[in-house]
Amino acid sequence: MGTGIFSKRSELPGELHPLALLREERLKARLPVFDWSHGNPTTANLPWPPASIPPLFAKNSWLAYEPSPLGLASAREALVRHLALEGLDVPARDAVLVASSSEAYANLFKIFCNPGDNVLVPSPSYPLFDELARWEGIELRPYRLGFAGEWHLDVESVRAVCNERTRAILVVSPNNPTGSCLTVAELHELAAFGLPIIADEVFAKAPRSVLGNADIPKARAGRGRPVSFENALCISTSPSDDLGRFPVSQHPPRSVLGNADAPKASAGRGRNTRRISTSRSDDLGRFPVSQHPPSGKRIRTLSARDVLHAHPHVVLDGLSKRLALPQVKCGWMLLGGPASFCSELRSRLEFALDAQLSLGAPVSHALGELLAHEDLARDALARRIESSEAALREAFSGTTVSVLPREAGWSAVLRVPCDDDSVLAIRLLDAYGIYVLPGALFGFSSPGVLVVSLLTAPLDVPQAARSLLACLESA
Ligand SMILES: Cc1ncc(COP(=O)(O)O)c(C=O)c1O
């Protein structure tokens, strides 16, 4: 059937990125794929969730259907009671429940933007924003986060991309994949643009990095050899596995892999038109003297400190990362700023969400009990992430690979000596069966960046690291 009857925005990506293609081929051929980008906490062999977690169909009353577009009143109250224990003072009327942050984004983009309007997004950051924006017919204009020993906001780049069709500024703090948080001063600089701020804080309660700064590359890498990954948690050789297709909540969709910013040698078709508008600075290293990294106080949650109390903003969070339960599908928006803004936004959200009613009754009823388990989830995550990060730093200590400093989150950014990280990722998969995500995918403008998951079992890290070093050495 011809494609003329379908909309442009639902057009399928033409072809897979060569990295995704290779992964599919390997899986079909039953060759091992060690997924070092693995971001699914439910298959990471964590001591979580515990038996004490409430089964979602435990009580008949939890199946009661009471359509409530903003979320069940009892669930919203349970949420704000939990947030109050963290020092967040949010009235239940300003807490709106959704099934996922993607659903929150879709509705906020619809409510703040007309088709053709734009939203400013950080770069590098979470690649799914491109897809979410495309579905809403809006443009994303990336502003730059720069790195100079620590990450900082390049406020000049915000100025450069902001125009009369800009409707909101999105911040991700802690950011994925850099794990960096904004400073209070940076947030004020963004607020000064006078636009609503959408603050993605899904990693705000993620364990903090307990380790110090990046290793300074010293010696040349030793030659390694292909590995078997006896301990691997995420090897898959099953052709029926859908791994090459990047489950939406954890991995970038395949069209994002065809990032237009990706180096030419990666032949993926670039549907993604995100560009860094300023060429003044490199996100890892060379940046103008005027753009010093900040030394200000870094914030973990916007609402906690009332940093934006007088400024229109929405904070996004949810169980997906807080409780490492992406499968139960429950997130929330906390509306903040002037009362008139919150009230208008609440009414519009109620109107929009009434047509969707996507949050399930069982999770709504169980929300309070689920949140009571948050400390256990955080402990399980902290233990895994800390040991995986320590193993990573040890494995690359004194080598040509640096592990960038990070504050929080589930990923680590590796600085590697290569001109094209997509090509390197393809070689690593082809020769060693190791799947990592190239930095180009997240919008890193400098080549030589790989992103790896800290949910990886620490026992698997040394072998994976040796393979990467060998791959670099053999280039
Ligand atoms: C920055 C960021 N926001 C949101 C999400 C997804 O959250 P949810 O599962 O609630 O859609 C992710 C997933 O990795 C993420 O990295």
State the pTM of this model.
Answer: 0.85
Q: Separation of 101 CA from ligand 1 center, angstroms?
A: 6
- Atom number, ligand 1, closest to the C-alpha of residue 39: 14
Q: Separation of 128 CA from ligand 1 center, angstroms?
A: 8
In CATH, what number does 64-207+278-372 get? 3.40.640.10
Q: Separation of 202 CA from ligand 1 center, angstroms?
A: 6
Q: Separation of 114 CA from ligand 1 center, angstroms?
A: 24
Pocket of ligand 1 (CB under 6 A): 100-102, 126, 172, 176, 200, 202, 249-250, 318, 320, 326, 331
Q: Separation of 178 CA from ligand 1 center, angstroms?
A: 14
pLDDT tens track for 73-106 = 999 999 999 999 988 889 999 999 999 999 999 9
pLDDT value of residue 240: 28
pLDDT value of residue 57: 77
- Atom number, ligand 1, closest to the C-alpha of residue 125: 1
pLDDT value of residue 307: 80
- Atom number, ligand 1, closest to the C-alpha of residue 326: 9
Please give the chain's pLDDT, 475 residues, in tens. 556 899 999 998 878 899 999 999 999 999 999 999 999 999 999 999 888 888 887 787 888 889 999 999 999 999 999 999 988 889 999 999 999 999 999 999 999 999 999 999 999 999 999 999 999 999 999 999 999 888 999 999 999 999 999 999 999 999 999 999 999 899 999 999 999 999 999 999 888 887 643 333 333 233 333 333 333 333 333 332 222 222 223 333 333 333 323 322 233 323 333 333 333 334 554 333 333 444 566 776 676 556 888 899 999 999 999 999 999 999 999 999 999 999 999 999 999 999 999 999 999 999 999 999 999 999 999 999 999 999 999 999 999 999 999 999 999 999 999 999 999 999 999 999 999 999 999 999 889 999 999 999 999 999 999 999 999 999 8
Looking at the chain, which residues constitute the CATH 3.90.1150.10 domain(s)? Answer: 8-48+209-274+376-473
pLDDT tens track for 421-461 = 999 999 999 999 999 999 999 999 889 999 999 999 999 99
Q: Separation of 172 CA from ligand 1 center, angstroms?
A: 10
Q: Separation of 250 CA from ligand 1 center, angstroms?
A: 7
Q: 8-48+209-274+376-473: which CATH number, 3.30.1490.100, 3.40.1710.10, 3.50.50.60, 3.90.1150.10?
A: 3.90.1150.10
Q: Separation of 142 CA from ligand 1 center, angstroms?
A: 18
- Atom number, ligand 1, closest to the C-alpha of residue 318: 10
pLDDT value of residue 230: 31
Q: Separation of 35 CA from ligand 1 center, angstroms?
A: 19
pLDDT value of residue 3: 67
Q: Separation of 57 CA from ligand 1 center, angstroms?
A: 25
pLDDT value of residue 296: 63
pLDDT value of residue 300: 64
Looking at the chain, which residues constitute the CATH 3.40.640.10 domain(s)? Answer: 64-207+278-372
pLDDT value of residue 244: 26
Q: Whose CA is nearest to atom 14 of ligand 1?
A: 250
Q: Look at phi and psi of residue 126 and say left if phi exceeds 0, alpha if psi is from -120 to 50, else beta.
A: beta
Q: Whose CA is nearest to atom 7 of ligand 1?
A: 101
Instruction: Tell me which of 109, 128, 178 to substitute to probe ligand 1's pocket, judged by most ligand atoms within 8 Å of the beta carbon.
Output: 128
Instruction: Tell me which of 172, 202, 205, 319 to substitute to probe ligand 1's pocket, judged by most ligand atoms within 8 Å of the beta carbon.
Output: 202
